[in-house]
Structure 1
Amino acid sequence: MRLSTVILPVHRWSEGREVWWRAEQLGFHTAYTYDHLSWRSFRDLPWFGAVPTLTAAAGATSRMRLGTLVTSPNFRHPVTLAKELITLDDVSGGRVTLGIGAGGTGFDATALGNEAWSPRERADRFGEFIGLLDELLTNDVVTREGDFYSAHEVRNIPGCVQRPRLPFAVAATGPRGLRLAARYGQAWVTYGDPRGPRDVPVEDCPGVVRAQMEKLEAACAEAGRDPRELDRILLQGSTSERPLDSVDAFVDYAGRYAELGITEIVLHWPIADSIFEADMAIFEKIATDGLAQL
C-alpha cells in the first residue's frame, strides 16, 4: 500500500512552497490538489488554480508524484486541458497523475453562467470528455467532432513524457463511471459512500467500498480487462471515520482497507479552522511511521 496526501490550493506560494516540499520530505508517494474554482466552506477564502499550483510544486520537489483529485468537465475543455497537462508532465519530469471525474453540482457547475447539468448529461459529457482527452494525450494530431467537445487538427507535440500518456485515476461509483474507469483508467478513485458522513455509520464504511470494488471488477470483466491492473485509491475525509486521531487509529483504518484491496490511501493535509483540521504532529508521525506498523 502507498500513502499520499492532498494539499488544498489555499496557500499563497510563499507559504505553499514549504508545504509541498515538506510533503516530499515526509515520504508521501503522491501529493494531489483539488481542481476547483472554489470549494464549499473555502468559497470566500483564498483558493488558487490547480495546474499553476502543481507546476510550481514540480519546481519545489524532485521525487514525489503530483496530481489532481479530481479534474472534471465542469469548467474544463479537453483541448486546452491536454496542452496544460503535457506541459506539466514535461516540467515535472513525468511525475503527473490526472485524477478525473464527472464533477458535481457545486460552485464549479454554474461558474461559467450555465445551468448545472443533470446527472445524465454529466455522465454523457464525462464519457466524451475522457475519450477525447485520452486521444489528445496519445496522438500528435487529433480531429474529432463530438456532441459536446470537438478538436480540429489539434497538435500536441511532443506529447507526454510518460508513455503512451500520463496515467488517469478515474473517480467513479456509478455504473457508467466504473465502465470508464475500466476502459481508460490506470487507477480508480473512491471517497466512500457519496451520501456523506452523516448517513453512513463508521462500521458500514468498509462495506460500501467493498461493494464499489465488486462493481469495478464486474466492469473490468465486461471490458475484458484484469482488474488487478488498476490501482485502487481511497480519499480520506468524506466519511465519519477518524484515522488522523492517532497513529493507532490510522493503522486500524489503513489495515481494514488494505485487506479489501485498496492500494493507495490519500490523507488531507491539515488546515486549521476547517473541516480538515488535525494535529500536525500526529499527521507527520502517521506519514513517517503509519504504513510501517501495518
Structure 2
Amino acid sequence: MFFGVEGLTKTYEAAPVLEDVTFGMEKGEMVSIIGPSGAGKTTLLKLVAGLDWPTSGRVIFQNEPSRENPVIMVFQDYVLFPSMTVFENVAFGLRARRLSGDEVRRRVMEVLDYFGLVSKADAYPEHLSGGQRQRVAIARGLVVNPMMLLLDEPFANLDRNLKLQTAEFIRETQRNFGVTTLSVTHDLEEAFVMSDRIGLVMDGRLVQFGEARDVYFNPVHEDAARFLGPLNVLEGEVLTLMGCEGTQRRAVRPESLLLHPREDGAGRVLCADFAGHFTKYLVEVGDTVITVYGTDSALRHGDRVAIEIIE
C-alpha cells in the first residue's frame, strides 16, 4: 500500500464530520471520493494534506512526504497568484527550492508545453478561462514532482461542456505523469470516467470503496444506489409480469434493462425522449412506471414491449 487512512475520524464541537474512514491506494492509482455536499469529502482531503488534524485515526504513507517529493493540493478556486504570470505561477515552487534559472525555465516550459499553455506563459490569471486556470494550478503542482496530488472539486468552476473533457484530460495526465492522485468531487460522471477506484462517503462514513463499475452497478444499499444515479425499484406484480418469479424486490438501473417489441409484452411505452447517446423510455408495467435507457429509437408511444433485465 502506497498510501492509506486508518480509522480516520474528525469531530467539530462534539459533532462527527468523518467517522472511522479506512481505505488504501496503490502507487500511480487514481481514486475519487464522491458523496453529497456536506458529507465530509473536503475534510478528508484536508486531513490527508496535513491542513487539519484528525480527532483519531491516522494517515499512512509508505514513504513520508518530503521537500523533494511533497503532497500537493490543488484547491477548488485554484489559488493562483494574481500578480504573477502563468510562467511565474508554475515556477513558484521550483524557485522556492532555489533551483538555477536555467533549470526552472526548462522544467516550467516542459510542463507548459504538455498542458498547451506555452502561448499563455506571459498572461495573468485574470485573462485565462476557467479551464486554463485549472491547468495552470495542476501544472504548478506537477512541476515539483509530487509524490501525491490532491484535487478538491476539480470540476466546480467549469461549465457543463468542459467537465467531461477535463475529466478525460486529468485521467490522461495522471497516467502520463504516473502520480498517485486522490480527488474529491460530487460530479459523478466525471469521477467515474477518470478513476481506477471510487469511494462513496455519506454522512461522514465511507460506505463503499471499490472499482468504479462495481460501485455503480453493485451499490451497498438503496440510498447509495439512488445517489449514484437513476434507479428503478421493482417489486411484487411488476417482477411477476416481467417473468422474474421468486424475486421479491430488485433495484435496477435504467441502462440494465432491455426492451423487445412484442404484442403480448408486459410493458407499454408511454413516451420516448431522445437524449443524445441514448433514448429515455418511460414504460408502464401494471401500475408502475419504470425508466429504461436504450439505443433503439424505433419504439413509440403505445408500443407493447417485453422487458429484460441484463444480469
Q: Same fold (TM over 0.5)?
A: no
Bigger helix share: 1
Bigger strand share: 2
Give the TM-score taking structure 2 as reference length: 0.29
Give the TM-score taking structure 1 as reference length: 0.30
